């Protein structure tokens, strides 16, 4: 049976969430900003270490906070499926300190509001727009240390625009998810290229 892993992608408006997802699945990027107004679900398949996983990637539209209860989640269509996602990608723009503050708040709320063993849920913080790094508000190393050591989350920087580290970030997250219980499999993860464009990525 193929395992399904649901991943919620959350971040402030305009940080590049949709761009990252669309680069990963379709190898597509648009300079034109089209704000995501409703929740959108992508369902690509990936192969990691020879095992196929079906991903359910939730492109979450702007939400003021992480849903604190199941009823809140149920009432707000934008956050359906966010509370019980198997993993989170929290995206910020490396040039926008406010977007980092937003990620900080959401990370805290995930830890506080998720049911069960909240510390176990894989969270990957992603600094997007790396191509604009001359305008970054904080050195990479300082953010990385804060996120990894203090928050105990993974950290990757990428550029959705140039498709740089986009596959890597999904690979990183899946690696954490797999090592935390989906499957005990620590062998080297190798990227072998796309099996079938738009559908399945071998990682």
| Residues found near Mg ion in the complex (CB under 5 A) | 17-18, 36
Q: Does residue 132 belong to the site contacting ligand GDP (CB under 6 A)? A: yes
Q: Nearest-CA neighbor of 76 among 87, 65, 91?
A: 65
Selected binder of ligand GDP within 46, 58, 103, 159 (CB under 6 A): 159
Quote the tokens at residue 123: 């969270």
Nearest to 33 by CA among 131, 161, 126: 161
- Does the footprint of ligand GDP cover residue 181 (CB under 6 A)? no
Pick one of 161, 175, 178, 182: the residue that binds ligand GDP (CB under 6 A): 161
| 201 binds ligand GDP per the rule CB under 6 A | no
Q: Check if the beta carbon of residue 87 is closer than 8 Å to that of residue 71.
A: no
Looking at 98, 101, 112, 131, which residue binds ligand GDP (CB under 6 A)? 131
Least gap, CB of 17 to Mg ion (angstroms)? 5
* Tokens 């105990």 belong to residue: 152
Specify the residue, 36 or 133, whose C-beta has the smaller distance to Mg ion.
Answer: 36
Interaction between residue 173 and ligand GDP (CB under 6 A): no
Residues 6+ apart with CB under 8 A from 46: 52, 53, 55, 170, 174, 200, 201, 202, 203
**Is-contact 105 68, C-beta < 8 A?**
no
When asked if residue 81 is in the footprint of ligand GDP (CB under 6 A), the reply is: no
Task: Tell me which stretch binds ligand GDP (CB under 6 A): 68-76, 124-132, 137-145, 187-195.
Answer: 124-132
Cβ-closest position to ligand GDP: 16
When asked if residue 122 is in the footprint of ligand GDP (CB under 6 A), the reply is: no
166 three-state secondary structure: helix
Q: Is residue 127 close enough to count as binding ligand GDP by CB under 6 A?
A: no
Give CA 3 to chain center in angstroms: 18
Nearer to ligand GDP among residue 73 and residue 157 (C-beta): 157
Which of 36, 5, 42 lies closest to 21, judged by CA? 42
Rounded to whole angstroms, the Cα distance separating 148 from 145 reads 5
List residues binding ligand GDP (CB under 6 A). 11, 13-19, 30-31, 33, 35-36, 128-129, 131-132, 159-161
């Amino acid at each position: 049976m193929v395992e399904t892993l649901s991943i919620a992608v959350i971040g402030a408006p305009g940080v590049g969430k949709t761009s990252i997802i669309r680069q990963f699945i379709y190898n597509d990027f648009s300079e034109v900003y089209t704000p995501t107004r409703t929740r959108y679900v992508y369902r690509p398949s990936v192969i990691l270490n020879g095992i196929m996983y079906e991903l359910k990637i939730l492109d979450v539209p702007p939400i003021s906070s992480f849903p604190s209860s199941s009823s809140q989640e149920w009432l707000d269509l934008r956050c359906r499926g966010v509370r019980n996602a198997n993993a989170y990608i929290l995206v910020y723009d490396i040039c926008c300190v406010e977007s980092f503050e937003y990620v900080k708040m959401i990370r805290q709320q995930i830890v506080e509001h998720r049911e069960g063993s909240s510390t176990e849920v894989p969270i990957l913080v992603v600094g997007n727009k790396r191509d604009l790094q001359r305008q970054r508000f904080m050195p990479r190393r300082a953010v990385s240390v804060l996120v990894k050591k203090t928050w105990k989350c993974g950290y990757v920087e990428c550029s959705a625009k140039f498709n740089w580290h986009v596959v890597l970030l999904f690979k990183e997250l899946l690696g954490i998810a797999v090592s935390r219980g989906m499957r005990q499999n620590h062998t080297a993860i190798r990227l072998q290229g796309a099996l079938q464009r738009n559908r399945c990525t071998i990682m």
